[in-house]
Amino acid sequence: MQASPPMSLHDALAHALGADRLNTDPAFAEAQAGDWSDAPRCAPPLVILPRTPEEVARALAVLAQYRQPLVVQGGLTGLAGAATPQPGEVALSLARLTAIEAFDTVGGTVTVQAGIVLESLQTQVEAAGWFFPLDLGARGSCQLGGNAATNAGGNRVLRFGTMRERILGLEVALPDGTVLSMLNRTTKNTTGIDLKQLFIGAEGTLGVITRLVLKLEPKPAAAQTALCALGSFDAAAQLLKALRMRLPALSSFELMWDDFMVAAGEVAKLKPPFSTRYPVYALVETLGDAGDDAQQALEAALGDALEHGTIDDVIVAQSLEQAKQLWAARESVGELLAATRPHAAFDVGVPMDEMERLVATLRARLEARFAAQRHLFFGHLGDGNLHLLSGPYEAGTDLLEVEALVYEAVRDAGGCISAEHGIGVVKQAFLGLTRSEPELDLMRKIKQLVDPAGILNGRRVVPDRDTSG
């Protein structure tokens, strides 16, 4: 056995980083006590705020020496509790790592520190004629390191991919403080195992992402937006295929079922977009040139779809203001969530050819069992990503039964229990429904390999082996 280190943990960290990197203020700790999920909040006794990637590695080395459990924190906008401290954990915040370290304005790549806020990066690269296409509601608070750790998605994945497709290189500090510098800047790199992929989407359980090399796109001059009214899910699927073929600039295809549209209209006080109601609606966006070409291309494609009977009605935005109105229902999700508390909210993946049946199955089962609640469906059709908001339930209801009902149907449809929100602490109990035991076993072994003491974001994502049997 090893003798106890001579200093307290606090003193060792202060010695390694400087005392001004440590914050034990209870008010600050309270602000760091949880993310946007419903996971129980827990104020950390200490928040470490390194100023450089190198300081992150040094902090980890000290924490490893003391076998001190820790949670990594970015913008705290997660929806699965991965960044919510658990009892006994100190917090390591990346909020001070906000530098853009390099910007290749010829090739369109940028090297950034992990704590930069998504919207801040978007703004800074747009000033140079480039575009970072990942976009999500939390853009004003979420950080790029967190976007990578959760493989963030959002509304433009259809054209530009998830965060994984944006990442050319990563620098990661392992739980023992070893730095893996993988700051590759080219699209193609086939030189052994692509280790950075391990850390993307692992929700901070394998290492702390400290730097990223991101791939940019040339800045589109304008967005073209339309809202389509459709007679069936099948028509929506046909429309998506036709538009993908005709419009390579297609960037969003958001599906909303009628009851979602009605509920969104109520909470956000919106005028119904069409004079009658339709079974489903598709919100379509292309990102293209500022001239008339892109607008005409969208109008021509939708005109043909109307003529062929794929769509029943359509509104094409003629101004930024009108585009905003068309997005209003889809963007009212925050208000809908607030209005339906307590609720169960889902973010599941389901293959497109199973989606219609799954929605029908879930609707029937939920309405039979929970008749007093609303069950609202919407999603990113092209990504196989379905959202469901079910509520409001009575205060204090245990929502496990709702979750089990939904996740079991998702499993039966060949889907996954989380498309873009992650597992964190709130979905661990269900992970085994859509990941097999050999997969969970290999995940545990990899975790054990890089973090044998289990101190980094422990008790998250992969459940411990079931020893009850």
Q: Which of 403, 224, 382 is nearest to 317 (CA)?
A: 224
CB of 259 to a second copy, least distance (A): 23
Interface residue with a second copy among 37, 162, 310, 390 (CB under 8 A) is 162
CA dist list (Å): 230 to 92, 270, 317, 414: 48, 20, 17, 26
Site for a second copy in 85-124 (CB under 8 A): 104, 106-109
Helix (H) or strand (E) holding 409, with range, is: helix 400-412
Pick the stretch among 86-94, 261-269, 284-292, 387-395 that binds a second copy (CB under 8 A).
284-292
Cβ 69 vs Cβ 54: under 8 Å = no
Site string for a second copy, 293-322 (x = CB under 8 A): x---x-------------------------
Residue count at the site for a second copy (CB under 8 A)?
94
Residue type, 302: L
Site for a second copy in 27-86 (CB under 8 A): none
Q: How far is CA 447 from the centre of its chain?
A: 22
CB of 150 to a second copy, least distance (A): 6
β-pairing, 90-93 vs 47-48, is: parallel
Q: Which of 64, 20, 41, 146 is nearest to 453 (CA)?
A: 64
Ramachandran assignment for 87, one of left (phi > 0), alpha (psi -120 to 50 degrees), beta (any other): beta
Site for a second copy in 249-268 (CB under 8 A): 249
Site for a second copy in 174-233 (CB under 8 A): 174, 178-182, 184-195, 197-198, 200-202, 205-206, 217-221
Site for a second copy in 379-438 (CB under 8 A): 380, 382-385, 414-423, 431, 434-436, 438
Binding status of residue 462 toward a second copy by CB under 8 A? yes
Interface residue with a second copy among 399, 440, 454, 459 (CB under 8 A) is 440
Name which of 38 and 383 has its Cβ closer to a second copy.
383
Binding status of residue 10 toward a second copy by CB under 8 A? no
Q: HSE (CB half, 13 Å, CA atoms) of 162? A: 19
Binding status of residue 352 toward a second copy by CB under 8 A? yes
Pick the stretch among 14-22, 29-37, 253-261, 345-353 that binds a second copy (CB under 8 A).
345-353
Q: How far is CA 381 from the centre of its chain?
A: 16
**CA-CA distance, 24 to 14, in Å (whole number)?**
12
